[in-house]
Amino acid sequence: MMEERIQIVPGFSWFGKNIGIKDNTLDFGGILSDVPCQAAGVFTKNTIPGAPVLVGKEHLRNGLLQAVIVNSKNANVATGLHGVEDSREICRLVAENCGIDAEMVLPSSTGVIGRRLPMDVIVNGCSTLRQDFGKTKQHAENFARSIMTTDTRPKLICAQVGNATLMGVAKGAGMIEPNMATMLSYFMTDAELPAEELQPMLRRVANKSFNRISIDTDTSTSDTVVILANGLAGPVDLQEFERVLAEMAVYLAKEIARDGEGATKLIELVVSGASTEEQALLTAKSIINSPLVKTAIYGADPNWGRFVMAIGKVFNYTVDVADLRIFFGEGNDRLRIDAEILDRDEVPLAEISEMLKKDEIRIEIVLGNGPYSEKVWGCDLTEGYIKENAYYTT
Amino acid sequence: MMEERIQIVPGFSWFGKNIGIKDNTLDFGGILSDVPCQAAGVFTKNTIPGAPVLVGKEHLRNGLLQAVIVNSKNANVATGLHGVEDSREICRLVAENCGIDAEMVLPSSTGVIGRRLPMDVIVNGCSTLRQDFGKTKQHAENFARSIMTTDTRPKLICAQVGNATLMGVAKGAGMIEPNMATMLSYFMTDAELPAEELQPMLRRVANKSFNRISIDTDTSTSDTVVILANGLAGPVDLQEFERVLAEMAVYLAKEIARDGEGATKLIELVVSGASTEEQALLTAKSIINSPLVKTAIYGADPNWGRFVMAIGKVFNYTVDVADLRIFFGEGNDRLRIDAEILDRDEVPLAEISEMLKKDEIRIEIVLGNGPYSEKVWGCDLTEGYIKENAYYTT
């Protein structure tokens, strides 16, 4: 169903290039549609959002977009009115060079917080846009690479829905605990989708994918996920489309968690048997965010007591330890721990440790007999995270 | 005022020794008063508390204690009814050997979660208690050492209040974000204190000291702080006593943060200008717990944008970036950043970086013009934390 191979989406062009914002890696990229697109977006809940988030929300108000322009290496956050003006100016430059309206451009910036964009460099970078945009797979891949910051690899996924093609691109490796939004992620499709369905669909999808990952509990000021539908392929089955979009969003969200700064392992955690949806999610977040759980998994240390601790620090809900079960692995191979076990020799510690050495780990916590469950993704915490972040800015 | 030198507290004895729970370091310790003490305690809010917490709360119900018994290397948590029976049995053994009632003994255990205590070893360790207890400074220091887990040094502080002496002892280096309670900490005094004042006084003091530190956002299942007052020195000025107790609790809390697992720096953070007490505390906690802030401080990286991010992820309150000021350092030397500054050359990044190289760092964040402020303590996040916790249990 889901294909990692790049397929171009009819009617879309991309570019990704270096304009020298900080160094000589790709730092400027864009998406352009031949025709205006129905569009929807969800953005960070951080109360100090970046300037491009403010401008992007404004431009999305009428549900139409035709282009996306992104720079990495600088987030354009905490830059005041000047930052907002810079972001508007970039949209104007893109519009002028591509022959569209500035309000049809969604801007994004990602990188260091608190510095003004080098506008001279960006003005220069915009001057050749008409030649930069192209419709090949290489152009799409260059775009995916140009939005990376500490990511170690581009994140791109394509699929067919009926006659239409859907492509998703994402970036993100640190400052990741999206909340009602996500890191930078863009979906493009030539499906024809009703405008009024697009926004609620994207919100539902983001909520079960990007909003269920955490790398380091920090919520970025720039989180943005946007979908552009140019309609060229005609209508598609909406349920089928949402199913594929959700599958793709989960794939990209997992890719982000797997590529977390310094991470060596992807953790998939299911909390079930909860008495409310809130209990399931709070408990899942408490565990996936616990540095003691994350370091134990890094060291393949079967220290399941740390799960008990993390479950117990969800103060609003009590759990009966007698009901608590922890499963490592999947299917018939999974290993079970009863938290209140009498004979400690029964605990398969050596087997759990072996399982924790894999690079993808599934854990399920059963809290009791309640009907609610949640699934979240995260990663281990390693020396690599420290190294990457102790010396990042300057 | 505050003296780090050990002073014995009249009427109290201590011991600390190795009984071989895990290795050959000190792992068993106790406090004994010649006479019954007025006592108060606050305990972890973790909903899966250790067995000794359950038994300790029960024994404290009448506000009287005469002894404390602590083992390290094993927390006796998630050990079910057997764990509770083990904890009661230890109190019974201590009482029998010291000629007091079992209900006068407060038990504590700290260490790995999810294993039963080796009761044969403990029974043996209790048999010589009468000889183990002694009234010298060395005995008190041995006690402080015996309760350590990943701590790198004992934490002990003494002071005079009128005719009375007050001693405080604490341990803790990981799984530390106490909530309405603290890690293990014991205060002993020969002051005569009214029973009805003791519990609310201890709660007020813990709330502004131990409850204001965080090492890693994880809340232990064993947190306990207890005060024993044997009354031998007669009454003291209560306000003066509370002031000294608070000063001492802050000292021990800071010692815990400074000795955080892998930490190289103590961070003191003040958030002021908040519109509510909750905003001040949530913002302070958001910053002191942010792994990106903690790693930046470790690397002496003046990446103040990460403070902006952490302030903005307190979703319930909005902050006007135009009002936001960040101060590094204290007094006349302190360096100021206005978050929405226009000319980036004004930001003294090199000086801030120099300041961040110190081993004690004070930062103040002014959110706006509100009347509320909070002070919290934490530490940097380093490779040492990862190493210590990736391979701890087994």
What's the average model confidence in pLDDT over A234-256?
92
pLDDT band (50, 70, 90) for residue A101: very high
What's the average model confidence in pLDDT over A334-339?
85
The SS3 assignment for A288 reads helix
What's the average model confidence in pLDDT over A11-27?
95
A291 to chain B: closest CA residue: B216
Q: Which of A44, A149, A182, A189 is catalytic?
A: A182
Is B313 in Cβ contact with A219 (below 8 Å)? yes
Q: Which of A213-217, A248-252, B140-144 has the highest mean pLDDT?
A: B140-144
From B115, B292, B302, residue closest to A174, measured CB to CB = B292
A112 to chain B: closest CA residue: B305
Model pLDDT, residue A182: 55
Is A386 in Cβ contact with B382 (below 8 Å)? yes
Residues of chain A with C-beta less than 8 angstroms from the C-beta of B46? 309, 312-313, 315
pLDDT digits (tens, 9 = 90+) for A194-212: 888 999 999 999 888 888 8
pTM of the model: 0.84
Min Cα distance B174 → chain A (Å) is 9
Is A340 in Cβ contact with B393 (below 8 Å)? no
Model pLDDT, residue A161: 92
Is A313 in Cβ contact with B218 (below 8 Å)? yes
What's the Cα-to-Cα distance from A54 to each of A126, A228, B326, rounded to whole Å? Answer: 21, 18, 24
- Domain locations in chain A? 12-258, 266-390
Cβ atoms of A77 and A112 closer than 8 Å: no
What's the Cα-to-Cα distance from B253 to each of A28, A252, B257, B372, rounded to whole Å? Answer: 48, 42, 6, 22
Which two tokens mark B220?
């232990």
Does the pLDDT of residue A151 top 90, yes or no?
no
From A311, A389, A394, residue closest to B295, measured CB to CB = A389
Model pLDDT, residue B2: 41
Residues of chain B with C-beta less than 8 angstroms from the C-beta of A49? 312
Q: Which of A129-143, A208-222, B247-261 has the highest mean pLDDT?
A: A129-143
Q: What is the CATH number of domain B266-390?
A: 3.10.20.340
Which two tokens mark B290?
């942010």
DSSP assignment letter at A342 = S
Does the pLDDT of residue A2 top 80, yes or no?
no
Could you count the other beta carbons within 10 Å of the beta carbon of residue B343? 7
Model pLDDT, residue B177: 72
Inter-chain contacts counted by CB atoms under 8 A, chains A and B: 225
Quick one: CA dihedral A217, A221, A222, A227, positive or negative?
positive
Residues of chain B with C-beta less than 8 angstroms from the C-beta of A216? 291-292
Residue B38, beta-bridge partner list = B64, B229
Cβ atoms of A63 and A183 closer than 8 Å: no
Q: Which residues contact A343 (CB under 8 A, 6 or more apart)?
A: none
Cβ atoms of A27 and A147 closer than 8 Å: no
From A115, A309, A389, residue closest to B46, measured CB to CB = A309
The SS3 assignment for B177 reads coil
Residues of chain A with C-beta less than 8 angstroms from the C-beta of B394? 301-303, 349, 353
Model pLDDT, residue B27: 96
What's the average model confidence in pLDDT over A287-308?
92
Is B292 in Cβ contact with A175 (below 8 Å)? yes
Q: What is the CATH number of domain B12-258?
A: 3.60.70.12
Is B220 in Cβ contact with A114 (below 8 Å)? no
Does the pLDDT of residue A394 top 70, yes or no?
no
pLDDT < 70 positions in chain B: 1-4, 178-182, 341-345, 392-394
Model pLDDT, residue B268: 95
- What's the rounded Cα separation, in Å, for the pair B340 and B30? 55
B299 to chain A: closest CA residue: A390
Q: Which of A231-240, A346-355, A385-394, B217-226 has the highest mean pLDDT?
A: A231-240
pLDDT band (50, 70, 90) for residue A179: low
- What's the rounded Cα separation, in Å, for the pair A344 and B50? 17
Is residue A128 part of the annotated active site? The answer reads no
| H/E segment holding residue B355 | helix B349-355
A381 to chain B: closest CA residue: B386
pLDDT digits (tens, 9 = 90+) for B131-185: 999 999 999 999 999 999 888 889 999 999 999 999 999 888 777 776 545 578 8
pLDDT digits (tens, 9 = 90+) for A46-72: 888 899 999 999 999 999 999 999 999
Model pLDDT, residue A29: 96
Q: Which of B165, B182, B189, B382 is catalytic?
A: B182
Model pLDDT, residue B392: 61
pLDDT digits (tens, 9 = 90+) for A348-374: 889 999 999 999 999 999 999 999 999
Is A290 in Cβ contact with B217 (below 8 Å)? yes
A174 to chain B: closest CA residue: B292
Model pLDDT, residue B179: 57
Residues of chain B with C-beta less than 8 angstroms from the C-beta of A311? 47-48
Model pLDDT, residue B1: 35
Cβ atoms of A275 and A318 closer than 8 Å: no
Model pLDDT, residue B47: 85
Q: Which residues contact A128 (CB under 8 A, 6 or more apart)?
A: none
Q: Which residues contact A200 (CB under 8 A, 6 or more apart)?
A: none
pLDDT band (50, 70, 90) for residue A173: confident
Does the pLDDT of residue A245 top 90, yes or no?
yes
Indicate the range of A16-20, A40-44, A365-369 predicted with least confidence: A40-44
